[in-house]
Amino acid sequence: MLGWVKSLQDLDVKNEDFRNVLWTGKHSQLAIMSLTSNEAIGNEMHKVDQFIFIEKGQVRVELRADENATAEVHHLDTGGAVIVPAGTWHNVINSGDSEVKLFTVYSPANELPHEIDKTKADAEKHEPPNGTKTQKEFNTFLSDI
């Protein structure tokens, strides 16, 4: 099959994993995430652009120029979206009483292809300090595409 064709909304709403990478290409990557009440992705920075769409729930989005800067705070509900430019520190926190379901597109890829992290703790076990996988890991994958 060329590309990726599925019902993203169905997959996203049913997702119970903290992070599940659904598709990875040479220039972008699609992942779905689920956050429990008050759970946060964690203050992080990527060397890639990131688009985040809130499929269901309420979140507080914090954007920072650097790791210790005062946050620019935004509140999003179902249907809200944010673009996080490369190099921007950010955090997404579930501010509601129910689970948050979201999807994110990294451009280019930021996670390893087909990576599934059942919990945030699972994700943190193999995250490098800046949240971006090594170029060597991506080069190996991209050479197979």
Output the pLDDT for position 58.
Answer: 98
In a domain, 2, yes or no: no
CATH number for the domain spanning 125: value is 2.60.120.10
The pLDDT tens digits for 46-62 are: 999 999 999 999 999 99
In a domain, 83, yes or no: yes
Better-scored residue on pLDDT, 138 or 115: 115
Output the pLDDT for position 145.
Answer: 47
In a domain, 9, yes or no: no
Range of the domain at 66: 14-142
Say how many domains are in the chain: 1
Q: Tell me what the pLDDT averaged over the chain comes to.
A: 89
> Sheet of 29-35: strands edge to edge?
81-84, 49-56, 100-107, 29-35, 19-24, 116-117
In a domain, 126, yes or no: yes
- How many Å apart are CA 21 and CA 120, to the nearest integer? 14
Output the pLDDT for position 59.
Answer: 98
